[in-house]
Structure formats: structure tokens, C-alpha cells
Amino acid sequence: MESDYSDREIGIVQDDSRERLKAVQWKDLLQLGPRDVVHEMTLSLPWLLASWVAAAYGQYVVALACSFMFFLTGLRQVHNAYHYALGIPRRSTEWFMGVFSVLMLGSMHAVQINHLRHHRHCMDDEDVEAMSARMPWWKALLFGPLFPLLLHRKALQVGRPRQRRWILAELAANLVWIGLVFGVLDWTWLQYHVVAMAIGQCLTAFFAVWLVHHGCEPGGVLARTVRGRAKAWLTYNMFFHIEHHLFPAVPTRRLPVLAERIDRQRPDLAAKRVF
């Protein structure tokens, strides 16, 4: 997987002044130190454990809040994994996606295929991932349950043999996991987790796609962003989306720094905000 996307991705800003973006320094942001790697690898763990404990004690409102945060932080982790930006070897990254396929209910390798296609075909007819971005918000919510199914179908159609093997293995692992949780273990807190993750998957078309791309059309800036330390902190830097599209190899934890550098060259790109 190539790590230098800048020249290819810079086309997401389709106007005559995009040449200024080539002056943005970003390659120094790629490397993660040991503490950074540990933090990235364990980011969602406290939320996962907290949701399980709350569900085990019947505190489902608390459990839902923690599950939401687990899904958000898990998305950040697997999103970095899609771009091999976790700071760990490629083979380890593949297994990381495999583990999170079970924890988050779905094939992360299938999502990876569509996400990388999303970068190459952002907002055009080949971009399955961004389908909901072209809908009104309420249609994006209703579209949610169909969204994961379309991602998996497309990935199986276009994926290479190795990728399809990963997808089929992850889907098989999900079937075994669901069978164990509902047919063997009979632990209510794990059953709750599987249901919560299924709901999370049905909401990704809205929260992970529509929010960061709605109102964006080919011929202009194709993604939104966020500004302000509090907003970035609350959303785990996940909404620095135009920055991510411009320089996809940069890990999420470095996106606030990248945003400052882009602002010095193209402050107008921050006009489209997620909120």
C-alpha cells in the first residue's frame, strides 16, 4: 500500500489554487512513537469494558452511551488501519481489522475496500461509500440498514482473492460469534453488545458519511471539517475530513496539526464545517 497520496488526492479540491496545497508539509506527521501506538491500539478498550460492565448491571442507558463511544473510537482505529496508519506492521494491521470485525460486527476488510475506492472516486457514481451523502438527512438514516450490505456486496465483487478470503473469514467469524453469544453463552451483556453494534452499523451511513460529505458536490470541496479544540477532542479528531482526504496517510491523531498547516495555505477550505 503506497503511503504518498498527496498528488493523487489533491484533486479533491477542484479549483485553480489547489497548487498551494503542495506546499503543505505532512510527511513528518506520519511516524508514531511507541506511546502513540499503544494509545491508538487501546483507544476503544475502556469504552468497550465500561459498556459491558454497565450492561451486566442492567444500566442500559449508561451502556448505550459507552457503546456509542466504543463505536466512535473503534471507527477511528479501523479507519487508521484501512490506511495502514496505526504504527504497526502491515500483517498485524490485517489481524487488527480481523479482531475488530467481530467486535464491531462486520468485515472491516470489506469496509476498507470501499473506503479506499471512496478516496479514488470521491462522490462519483463508483463511490458506494458516499451514497448516503447525496441524500437528505432523514433518507440517510433510513438507508442505514442497507448500507453495510451494499458495502459487503461491492467488496466481494471488486476485491482481490486475498481480500475476499479475509472478508469471508471475517463474516464466518461473525456467524460463529453470534451463534456463541445467543445460542451457547447466554450472557445478557454480550447479547446487548451484539445488538448495540448492529445498531451502530446501521447508523454509519449517517454519522460516518452523511455528516462529513453532505452538501458537497463534484467540482468543489468534497468534504467537511471541524475547528476548535473542544470539538476536535469530543469527536476524537474524526471530523477533520477534508484534511484526511487531502493527505490520507496522516494518522488521525496528527490531523489537528495538519489542519493548522493547511489553513495557512488555504484557509477557505475550512468553510464547510460538520458542525
Question: SS3 letters for 61-73?
Answer: HHHHHHHHHHHHH
Distance CA 252, CA 193 (A): 26
- Closest to 223 measured CA to CA, from 233, 236, 232, 210: 210
- For the chain, the distance separating the N- and C-terminal CA atoms, rounded to the nearest angstrom, is 33
Distance CA 139, CA 153 (A): 21
- Decide if pLDDT at 233 tops 50: yes
Q: What is the CA radius of gyration of the chain?
A: 19
Q: Which of 196, 231, 265 is the last residue of a domain?
A: 196
Largest CA distance in the chain: 61
Mean pLDDT of 258-263: 96
The alpha-helical segments, DSSP class H, found in the chain are 6-9, 34-42, 45-56, 60-82, 90-104, 108-120, 137-143, 147-158, 161-180, 188-204, 211-213, 229-234, 241-246, 255-265
Residues 153 and 267 in one domain: no
Q: Which triple of cell numbers denotes residue 213? A: 460529505
Beta bridge partners of 133: none
State how many domains the chain has.
2
Residues 61 and 136 in one domain: yes
Residues 61 and 178 in one domain: yes
Q: What is the pLDDT of residue 218?
A: 74
Give the predicted TM-score (pTM) of the model: 0.92
Residues 161 and 235 in one domain: no
Does residue 216 belong to any structural domain of this protein? no
Q: What is the pLDDT of residue 21?
A: 84
CA 138 to chain centre: 21
Which residues, including other chains, have CB under 8 Å from residue 191's CB and lie 6 or more apart? 181, 182
Residues 86 and 178 in one domain: yes
- Decide if pLDDT at 1 tops 60: no
Domain span at residue 47?
A: 33-196
Q: Which of 157, 178, 196 is the last residue of a domain?
A: 196
Residues 137 and 148 in one domain: yes
- Decide if pLDDT at 156 tops 90: yes
Q: Identify the band that residue 5 occupies on the pLDDT scale cut at 50, 70 and 90.
A: very low
Beta bridge partners of 225: 273
Mean pLDDT (the chain, rounded): 92
Distance CA 226, CA 212 (A): 9
Q: Which of 180, 196, 212 is the last residue of a domain?
A: 196
In tens, the pLDDT along 13-64 reads: 555 456 778 889 999 999 999 999 999 999 999 999 999 999 999 999 999 9
